[in-house]
């Protein structure tokens, strides 16, 4: 899958977009140096230095041969590329255990993602005040100069009022933490309300028109993959995907590092080859 670069015919591979935030995270946590090399980035992220240089080249020329990348300018550039140099208001639909956990997670606010509308269908929850947001997570990089609190003090609103509450068009992102049977209907309402991007935690796929971005986060599916890896005594055949052939889970990669690198990426995302279109 590829992403069209705005105002350009150049297509950016989806895997490149996924990796950019990992590069930013490394830069944000690099406090002791002013410069970092692609080799140092490779050592931390598990991607090859060549892959990192290729990813960054899609967006311009960065760094100096033999010296590396100036951390602060590159970090600011990645913030702008990723669109996290500004605040994003988000609507959360579903205030169950997962929704409540997301409301309490300070890491969203620290990166400029502010949950400013909360909806649920449970009459016992509608009208209640959301739990106070934790300030955990704000230490990654420097504190962001955002204004209002994300979830503290927000009233949980009736899911039937989504259209009325979002009619001003200010909110373009939504998070779904609702049962599978309600996901498509709620998605349709969100799209009618101007939502353009959805993070879907419902255990089902939703159908959306072209131009709408949906990221599906199925925790049970990923845990089932892990249980498979732990349960099967035979080596796992490396997967053939559109990202190319990748090492089996747990096997050493060409740089000697295992698949799990501690930064939350999947096996497919660590492929050194981009999708062939």
At 183-227, the pLDDT tens digits run 999 999 999 999 999 999 999 999 999 999 999 998 888 899 899
Model confidence, pTM: 0.73
Fold of 2-82: Arc Repressor Mutant, subunit A (1.10.10)
Tokens of 267: 């096996």
> CATH 1.10.10.10 in the chain, residues?
2-82
What share of the chain has pLDDT > 70, as a percent?
Answer: 72
Q: What is 88-217's CATH superfamily? A: NAD(P)-binding Rossmann-like Domain (3.40.50.720)
| pLDDT of 238 higher than 70 | no
Tokens of 53: 């240089």
Predicted pLDDT of residue 160: 96
Backbone angles phi, psi at 215, to 5 degrees: -110, 120
Q: What is the pLDDT of residues 129-173, one digit of tens each?
A: 986 554 444 433 344 444 444 455 789 999 999 999 999 999 999
Q: Which residue has the tokens 């670069």?
A: 5
Predicted pLDDT of residue 29: 87
| pLDDT of 263 higher than 50 | no
| C-alpha to C-alpha distance for 97 and 228, rounded to whole angstroms | 26
Tokens of 215: 């990221």
> CATH 3.40.50.720 in the chain, residues?
88-217
What share of the chain has pLDDT > 90, as a percent?
Answer: 55
């Amino acid at each position: 899958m590829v992403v069209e670069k705005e105002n350009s015919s150049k297509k950016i591979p989806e895997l490149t977009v996924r990796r950019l935030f990992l590069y930013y995270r490394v830069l944000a946590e690099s406090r002791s140096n002013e410069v970092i090399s692609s080799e140092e980035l490779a050592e931390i992220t598990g991607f090859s230095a060549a892959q990192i240089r290729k990813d960054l080249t899609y967006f311009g020329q960065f760094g100096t041969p033999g010296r590396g990348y100036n951390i602060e300018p590159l970090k600011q550039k990645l913030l702008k590329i990723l669109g996290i140099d500004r605040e994003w208001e988000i609507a959360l639909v579903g205030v169950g255990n997962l929704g409540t956990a997301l409301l309490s997670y300070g890491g969203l606010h620290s990166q400029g993602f502010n949950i400013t509308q909360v909806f649920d269908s449970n009459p016992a929850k509608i009208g209640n005040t959301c739990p106070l947001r934790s300030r955990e997570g704000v230490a990654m990089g420097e504190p962001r100069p955002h204004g209002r609190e994300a979830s503290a003090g927000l009233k949980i609103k009736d899911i039937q009022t989504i259209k009325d509450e979002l009619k001003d068009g200010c909110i373009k992102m939504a998070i779904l933490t609702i049962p599978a049977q309600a996901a498509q209907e709620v998605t349709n309402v969100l799209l009618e309300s101007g939502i353009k991007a959805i993070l879907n935690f419902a255990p089902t796929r939703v159908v959306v028109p072209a131009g709408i971005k949906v990221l599906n986060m199925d925790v049970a599916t990923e845990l089932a993959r892990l249980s498979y890896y732990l349960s099967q005594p035979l080596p796992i055949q490396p997967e053939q995907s559109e990202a190319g052939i990748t090492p089996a889970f747990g096997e050493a990669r060409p740089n000697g590092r295992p698949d799990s690198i501690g930064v939350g990426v999947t096996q497919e995302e660590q492929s050194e080859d981009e999708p062939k279109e």
